[in-house]
Amino acid sequence: MVASAADAPSPGRNSRFRGLPLRILSAVVLGPLLLAAIWFGFPWIDLVAAIAAPLMVWEWTRLTRGRPVIRLFAYVYALAALVALLWLRHQPVLGRETVIWIVACIWATDIGAYFVGASAGGAKLAPSISPSKTWSGLIGGMAWAATVSTAMGYVFGLGTTLSLAVIGACLAVVGQLGDLAESAAKRGAGVKDSGNLIPGHGGLLDRVDGLVAVLVAVALVRLTVGGAWPWT
């Protein structure tokens, strides 16, 4: 909810961090509310999911107008992420820790990608989809996510291992793919943002596109390997 992964503004003395104060203000207001819902669990996290579901469906409807197959996939994808959120949070073993870890990694990815991409610039990551994203932003997001992922292991008393760093970096890549998928949908719809729900940020999908992808990915891995992955 801070800044879209690797979606840094064009390097320019006056435009590099344009709109950043409003983005920070929105994040300061909304971030703690989300963390509180995750921390306390039922019924608050369920309420968040219930509010998010129609908003995400509405925004995907706007982005996929005239493309029914893509629209169906988008609905399934969005709802799968919400189911994954609730399933992971309500796990009896380390459910709270897992979701906080996911959110922390995504926020770290977004922050690292934004600032590194804005400062370093360089080669474009996917110019035909999102011209402002850079390889330096992706690498910065991966580095920040790796660091925060390892730190979460330490905070929760579950170890600060190399595997957590690697997994954190991988989550950053997955989050970036989710970001690019939504960017492609916006480009196809001819719009800049999925909506105007959050001041300085755009729509809900603009802020959770990476999180949606990571929630689905983590849930699928957890279902495959079992246990309380990545902690055990």
Domain ranges across the chain: 20-225
Asked if 143 and 5 count as a contact pair (C-beta separation under 8 A), the reply is no
- Picking from 34, 5, 19, 49, the residue whose alpha carbon sits closest to that of residue 182 is 5
SS3 73: helix
> At CA 123, angle to CA 118 and CA 128, rounded to 5?
100
Residues of the chain with pLDDT under 50: 1-14
Percent of residues in the chain assigned helix, strand, coil, to nearest 5? 70, 5, 25
- pLDDT value at position 11? 43
- pLDDT value at position 139? 97
Predicted structure pTM score: 0.89
Asked if 204 and 30 count as a contact pair (C-beta separation under 8 A), the reply is no
- pLDDT value at position 109? 97
At 214, phi and psi to the nearest 5? Answer: -70, -40
The structure tokens listed for 75 are 């609905």
CA distance linking residue 100 with residue 136, whole number of Å: 26
- pLDDT value at position 14? 43
Query: With the C-alpha atoms ordered 46, 52, 57, 63, is the resulting torsion angle positive or negative?
Result: negative
DSSP bridge pairs for 134 = 124
Residue 224 has, within 13 A of its CA and on its CB side, a CA count of: 7
